[in-house]
């Protein structure tokens, strides 16, 4: 039996000086209340009540227990109320893991809008390209690009990530534009790949997957520096269109092979399997699912400093 139930029964008897009255208040049988008090007395090895046929009074040990357990039950009741409120109203801290590349997309703006909508929620952001163990590291939600093979996670697909092959016009004039992905192995490339992974780009050719193996000029574990490097006419990148959009719109980068770009890359939200999700996590998942269905142009990332210094301005994107 629950220790708190024993203490509640004991305190009810003490307050009412009657086992029968305590039983009525707790909606229990008098025998059950007597059993609860007897269990406490056996656990502590002391007598808690003086019992007569007419009256029930506390012993010295009973007075001590009554005095000490009052604040305890108040704390428990307060915690219960806060937990019930947190389960029904979005509040408290959420820990989110996301790769660096998502910080150049509408993701930070979306999280800002979520916090504005739910002011009682706070976020702890873990920005890392490392594969995080959600359960072990106390992460509520992981935002990841690409498939998530962990069967212990619940995965929600948020939005498709369109990718573009691009380089500067000057690079294309000097090296020529490829008409098929297979021609890219003759170009200088700037590539993102995890450590110990072969640098490859995935395309679709007449509905079939096509893998192009590369010998990159620059191989990075994160996409952040690649647009700036590309602006120096160094080679070709194949990145999220959201990242490249300002450069493509301004004309500082030019796209090729659009018909071959793979459309099988998605942004996913993953969380550990739990019987109960907090109201804050439930609200965040619903918010992300709704908002990622229609990312607006004004939430595109700001162009890189090199683009601003060139004197050009990106035009609004229309989709």
In tens, the pLDDT along 1-54 reads: 578 889 889 998 999 999 999 999 989 998 999 999 999 999 999 999 998 877
CATH topology of domain 163-263: D-Maltodextrin-Binding Protein; domain 2 (3.40.190)
The tokens describing 169, both together, are: 């016009």
- pLDDT at res. 276: 64
- pLDDT at res. 70: 86
Closest CA to 106 of 241, 314, 295, 313: 295
- pLDDT at res. 317: 35
The tokens describing 220, both together, are: 């990075």
What is d(CA 203, CA 263) in angstroms, rounded to the nearest whole number? 8
Whether the CB-CB separation of 223 and 243 falls below 8 Å is answered with yes
Task: Indicate where the chain has its CATH 3.40.190.10 domain(s).
Answer: 92-160+265-299, 163-263
Tens digits of per-residue pLDDT, 259-302? 999 887 888 999 987 666 788 999 999 999 888 876 533 333 33
Tens digits of per-residue pLDDT, 136-186? 898 999 998 877 777 788 888 888 888 999 999 999 999 999 999 999 988
What is d(CA 122, CA 172) in angstroms, rounded to the nearest whole number? 47
- pLDDT at res. 87: 64
- pLDDT at res. 291: 87
Secondary structure E strands in 168-289: 189-192, 200-205, 208-213, 218-220, 236-240, 254-256, 266-272
Please report which confidence band the pLDDT of residue 230 belongs to, taking 50, 70 and 90 as the band edges: very high
pLDDT, greater one: 237 or 275: 237
Q: What is the mean pLDDT of the chain?
A: 85
- pLDDT at res. 74: 83
Task: Indicate where the chain has its CATH 1.10.10.10 domain(s).
Answer: 3-88
Taken as a whole, the chain contains a residue count of 319
Percent of the chain with pLDDT over 70: 89
- pLDDT at res. 298: 33
What CATH number was assigned to the domain covering residues 3-88?
1.10.10.10
b or e along 32-45 (b: 16 or more beta carbons within 10 Å of the residue's beta carbon)? Answer: ebbebbebbbeeee
| Residue 220, pLDDT above cutoff 70 | yes
- pLDDT at res. 162: 87
Enumerate the H helices of the chain as residue ranges. 3-16, 19-26, 30-44, 60-88, 107-117, 134-137, 169-175, 226-230, 241-250, 279-291, 305-309
CATH of the structural domain 92-160+265-299, one choice from 3.30.360.10, 3.40.190.10, 3.40.50.20, 3.30.465.10: 3.40.190.10
- pLDDT at res. 94: 94
What is d(CA 99, CA 131) in angstroms, rounded to the nearest whole number? 9
Whether the CB-CB separation of 312 and 251 falls below 8 Å is answered with yes
């Amino acid at each position: 039996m629950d220790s708190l139930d024993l203490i509640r029964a004991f305190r009810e008897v003490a307050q009412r000086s009657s086992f029968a009255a305590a039983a009525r208040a707790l909606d229990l049988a008098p025998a059950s209340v007597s059993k609860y008090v007897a269990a406490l007395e056996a656990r502590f090895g002391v007598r808690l009540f003086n019992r007569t046929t007419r009256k029930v009074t506390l012993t010295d040990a009973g007075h001590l227990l009554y005095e000490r357990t009052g604040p305890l039950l108040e704390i428990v009741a307060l915690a219960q109320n806060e937990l019930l409120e947190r389960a029904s109203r979005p509040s408290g801290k959420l820990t989110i893991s996301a790769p660096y590349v998502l910080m150049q997309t509408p993701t930070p703006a979306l999280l800002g809008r979520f916090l504005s909508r739910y002011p009682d929620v706070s976020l702890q952001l873990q920005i890392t390209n490392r594969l995080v163990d959600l359960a072990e590291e106390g992460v509520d939600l992981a935002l990841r690009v690409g498939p998530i093979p962990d069967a212990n996670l619940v995965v929600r697909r948020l939005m498709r990530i369109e990718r573009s092959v691009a380089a500067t016009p000057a690079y294309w004039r000097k090296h020529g534009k490829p008409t098929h992905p297979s021609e890219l192995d003759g170009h200088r490339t700037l590539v993102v790949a995890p450590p110990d992974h072969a640098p490859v780009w995935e395309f679709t050719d007449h509905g079939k997957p096509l893998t192009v193996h590369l010998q990159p000029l620059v191989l990075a574990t994160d996409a952040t520096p690649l647009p700036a490097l590309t602006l120096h006419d160094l080679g070709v990148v194949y990145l999220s269109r959201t990242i490249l959009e300002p450069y493509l719109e301004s004309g500082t980068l030019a796209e090729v092979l659009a018909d071959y770009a793979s459309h099988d890359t998605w942004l996913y939200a993953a969380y550990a399997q739990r019987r109960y999700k907090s109201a804050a996590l439930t609200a965040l998942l619903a918010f992300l699912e709704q908002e990622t269905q229609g990312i607006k142009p004004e939430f595109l990332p700001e162009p890189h400093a090199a683009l601003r210094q060139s004197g050009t301005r990106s035009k609004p994107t229309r989709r």
